Structure 1
Amino acid sequence: MRLVNWLVTTVCGVPVLASGGPVARNQFVRRCAAGDIPPDAPAPAAEIVGRHAPAAARMNDFCWRLFDGDLHAEYPGP
């Protein structure tokens, strides 16, 4: 998750705004998890993001629910 998030923000240039949190990053990771990886992404980064985006998207969504106060959030699993 951390590697995918870092690659998305640092290499792919998706901003994480000070206000609003990582909404744009999480949306980008979800799109990558669905197979929509931008063609202009560097090949090594695109390969890593493509491979690990599905798990990163699930984990990002889970962490966001916890951060939002849902103490009963359950990890959706593989």
Structure 2
Amino acid sequence: MNFTLDDNANDINYKEILDNLECPIYVTDSRGVTRYVNLAYLAENPIADRQKLIGRSVGDIIQEGKYFN
């Protein structure tokens, strides 16, 4: 599935839908850079902070012990 999660009017509904799902969602781009995590992911991983994850490499996050799958 190819779509973006930018902060424009068309994507706001996608973010709201994803944030209201009960299953954790962690989205990366083709380079492994974190683009989105939903509220269910954050609820299951209390040390995770959305603002600190977005834009960061999954490899870096794993090394810090803040990535959970």
Same fold (TM over 0.5): no
Structure number with larger C-alpha Rg: 1
Per the normalisation by structure 2, the TM-score is 0.27
Q: Which has the higher helix share?
A: 1
Higher strand share: 2
